[in-house]
Structure 1
Amino acid sequence: MANITVLVSYRSLPDQIDLAKRDLTSLIATVQAIEADCGGITLLQDANDPTRFTLFENWPSQAVFLGPHMQQPHIQAFIQKAGAFLAGPPDISFWHPASRP
């Protein structure tokens, strides 16, 4: 199903690590329950810097991620409240296997 991997990197505020982890985990559960196009999401936390989180996501295309996914009410709600526990906006990058032309 998934043709593109999306890496979304966040940095939490130092005193908001637990809140960031909880809200990211909740968001992931919602996305996976509601959005049929999502091919899976893994939450990673930096082993040396606990303020750093990365979502490893699989989607059919960059257009699906940037379009329908980003317009979902749960995504928009997360964006609105994220300033309370994140140090800034995420870094989002799109990846495919190197063997693909």
Structure 2
Amino acid sequence: MSSAVVLVSYRARPECTELARREIASLIAAVQAVEPDCGGITLLQDAGDPTRFMLIEHWPSREIFLGPHMQQPHIQSFIQGAGAFLEGPPEISFWHPVGA
């Protein structure tokens, strides 16, 4: 199985930036607590536009991210409530490490 780096970009509603940050951080904590396939998640906030957030996630494969991970109850719950604090759905892209 190959390694996948997943970039997930969110844009918060301007009036909900702090709420979005807290909700995303809470989601990360849940993923890392109960999903052993997750190899780590880094949360970044745009220095020039605080409504923009980026997650850098490490997974064994794209298939695990899109399959078992996306079906988790905490992911489904986040998706259902995200419209209250996010401008829209995230942009998700898949990357792989390049050996030297």
State the TM-score, normalized to the length of structure 1.
0.95
Alignment match, 1:46 = 46
Looking at structure 2, the residues matched to 58 and 8 of structure 1 have their Cα atoms a distance apart, in angstroms, of: 11
Looking at structure 2, the residues matched to 3 and 47 of structure 1 have their Cα atoms a distance apart, in angstroms, of: 29
Looking at structure 1, the residues matched to 14 and 99 of structure 2 have their Cα atoms a distance apart, in angstroms, of: 39
Q: Which letter does structure 1 place at the counterpart of 2:36?
A: A
Secondary structure at the aligned position of 1:33 is classed as helix
Q: Larger deviation: 2-11 or 86-95?
A: 2-11
Paired-residue identity, %: 69
Measured after TM superposition, the shift of residue 85 of structure 1 is 0.2
Looking at structure 2, the residues matched to 68 and 97 of structure 1 have their Cα atoms a distance apart, in angstroms, of: 22
Secondary structure at the aligned position of 1:6 is classed as strand
Contiguous gaps of at least 5 residues in structure 1? none
Aligned residues: 100
Looking at structure 1, the residues matched to 80 and 23 of structure 2 have their Cα atoms a distance apart, in angstroms, of: 12
Consecutive aligned runs of 4 or more in structure 1 exceeding 4 Å deviation: none
Alignment match, 2:7 = 7
Measured after TM superposition, the shift of residue 99 of structure 1 is 3.5
Looking at structure 2, the residues matched to 92 and 27 of structure 1 have their Cα atoms a distance apart, in angstroms, of: 16
Matches within 5 A, 1:1-101: 3-99=3-99
Measured after TM superposition, the shift of residue 92 of structure 1 is 0.2
Measured after TM superposition, the shift of residue 57 of structure 1 is 0.2
What CA deviation, in whole Å up to 9, does each residue of 1:27-84 have, x standing for no partner?
Answer: 0000000000000000000000000000000000000000000000000000000000
Looking at structure 2, the residues matched to 98 and 41 of structure 1 have their Cα atoms a distance apart, in angstroms, of: 19
Measured after TM superposition, the shift of residue 4 of structure 1 is 0.7
